[in-house]
Structure 1
């Protein structure tokens, strides 16, 4: 039907924007999603909003309450430990496979990402993006489609926690050193070493995030950005 593509496109746009706000902590952990206010803030009708919310609930990025309300999930230390443990296993597997598959061109690409990571290590957001780019490239080199699919799903959830993992210069420098060691293991053709380095690197990020969460509230990432729609919410 003619309306379907438009409706689906609209729902996808709403989904993308809500997901961005959730992962960037613009929609605060524990914040309730009020349908009328959110529809007004995003300038969309209720139908694409509801489709987007259902999709985010299915992905675990929103929570349906027994009362019918919808909340942004709280940041939880137990959840972060579980996520990072699974991601560590995926990263370890992919590092091992990448070590066996990497071509000279692949290794050059990884070295280029490392150079950008080093150049931007003093800037938290930029350093984080380069780290993510390095892991994404290793995943692509590994070539295991199932591992990459699960990794992408886990990584999406973990974006809410990444702001805690590189909040200090010490941690960013440490992560860069670990990235260098990992690329060296890949270049040296040592799959066991690469797998262990990848696993330990992710678990180190987990420990940094848990420490930061224990001592601090969620970082304020709204300055200079979009206003969280729920800030003007009214009861549905």
Structure 2
């Protein structure tokens, strides 16, 4: 699919958003060489915003500079996946713990607590919605991302959330692989429901354990997909 930006979307931020999305969803494949002139022509922009966007992506290590010059999309591999998921499990587990602690502190006051109560109810609704679309990986990805965003909002832990955002691009690349492995099953629904139940119950230990178990399962799915892809490449 060819993407062309409109004149109002021709800045480095717009180019960055497009390229980042294409890296995460696999439109730009791992190890694919990225040419500034080719990208500029495809997006309908000058080379300057492309160059700036690539620098930003390099800072996130979503693209890597080559010794001979130019850049490529960062590869996906099992060792990197395990490291990303280990960090993610710790951070998201802590966010789930914080969310449950906040819920346990609800005291019926107006304002922030009302908003928090709405988010608590939304967690369960999102799990039910995920169950209805479990055969559609794009929708599961979208709803899952929203679920985790609600947990993050409930946690009110800005430092932990900021650290997670620093690796978000890498998390999302592997999350796409993991979700596709789960299509047609209810495992991911059950895992999210366990997190939601623990948060709603205000049980920090159970919330952290459930979230980390969910992330560990996602790690297993992602590494399985990577191993299968590597085996297929070897056979060919």
**TM-score normalised per structure 1:** 0.84
Which of the pair has the greater relative contact order for Cα pairs under 8 Å at 6+ separation?
A: 1
Cross-structure match for 1:88:
89
Q: Are residue 211 (structure 1) and residue 227 (structure 2) matched? A: no
Report the alpha carbon displacement of residue 170 of structure 1 after superposing the two structures with TM: 6.5
Equivalent residue pairs, number: 213
Cα distance 1:190–1:171, how it changes in 2: closer, same or farther (>3 A)?
farther
Does the CA contact (< 8 Å) of 2:62 and 2:169 recur in 1? no
Q: Which residue in the other structure is 1:146 paired with?
A: 159
Q: Gaps spanning 5+ residues in structure 2: where?
A: 1-6, 104-115, 231-236
| Number of the residue aligned with 1:195 | 208
User: Contact 2:32–2:73 (CA<8 Å) still a contact in 1?
Assistant: yes
Post-superposition Cα deviations, 1:54-98, rounded to whole Å, max 9, x if no partner, equal 111111111011211200011111111000000000111001100
Kept in 1, the 8 Å contact 2:135–2:183? The answer is no
Name the CA shift for 1:48/1:96 in 2 (closer, same or farther; >3 Å). same
Give structure 1 regions of 4+ aligned residues with deviation exceeding 4 angstroms: 6-9, 169-172
Once residues 184 and 141 of structure 1 are traced to their aligned partners in structure 2, the CA distance between those partners, rounded to angstroms, is: 14
Shift in CA distance, 8/38, structure 1 to aligned 2, threshold 3 Å? closer
* Partner residue, 1:45: 46
8 Å CA contact 2:98–2:156 kept in 1: the answer is yes
Counterpart Cα distance in 1 of 2:183 and 2:168: 23
Tell me if 1:10 matches 2:23.
Answer: no
TM-score by length of 2: 0.84
RMSD over equivalenced CA pairs, Å: 2.1
